[in-house]
Amino acid sequence: MASLKDLKNRIASVKATQKITKAMQMVAAAKLRRAQEAAESARPYADRMGTVLGNLAAGFEGRDDAPKLMTGTGRDQIHLLLVCTAERGLCGGFNSSIAKLAREHAKRLLAEGKRVKIVTVGKKGYDALKRDMGQYVIEKIELRGLKSIEFSDTKAIGDLVINLFNDEQFDVCTLFFAQFQSVISQVPTAKQLIPASFPESGSERRSSWWKCTVRIRTERTGDA
């Protein structure tokens, strides 16, 4: 049987642990609030970018001098999957749902006789795909050492994709990411980047670019 002194020590230890976890909770809440504010503040820029790109796509429609990044190579044989996940886990199904969507897309393409190449951004995406899709991964990018993602970091990823396209390494590029809705809801989404894909109607074209998904529902239901 524990002595009175042991019980006092245990009580003191539990109280100290409570203080530590309370401090960790406050730090996590502050980080979560900053992340939410950053995501919400980016929406107006995403909306405007969608409008600009949609207008450009409409202006170049049917023209022979249209940029290949918008019109593509005219082929549909080699597909590049750009899978963006987090660097760390312990976030529920955030990473696994993105990897699952990319895996299903890759398997469908392979079943159709297409070639698949994968670029992973984020350690967890590569970890989830390396077992059954590792042979298709041509590049893995980890950003764990960065405290915050700057424009230069994202530009390097964009330059990599553009250089691969200019070298005719792929025909179609699809981005896989989590679309932010709230701090507890992020929807796994696929967005075709190259050739550029936009809604057909003018009103839809002016809607938010990052809300556009590429046939996710039709891929899951089999409707064409």
Catalytic residue set: 91
For residue 208, CA distances in Å to 8, 122, 158 come to 59, 25, 20
Q: Which residues contact 119 (CB under 8 A, 6 or more apart)?
A: 80, 81, 82, 83, 137, 138, 139, 140, 141, 160, 161
Whole-angstrom distance, CA of residue 124 vs CA of residue 84: 9
Q: Quick check: 87 and 125 in contact, CB under 8 A?
A: no
**Helices assigned H by DSSP within the chain:** 4-60, 68-71, 94-111, 123-133, 151-166, 202-205, 216-221
- State both tokens at 147: 């405290």
Q: Which of these, 162, 169, 203, 208, lies nearest to 189 by C-alpha position?
A: 208
Is 189 within 8 Å of 174 (Cβ atoms)?
Answer: no
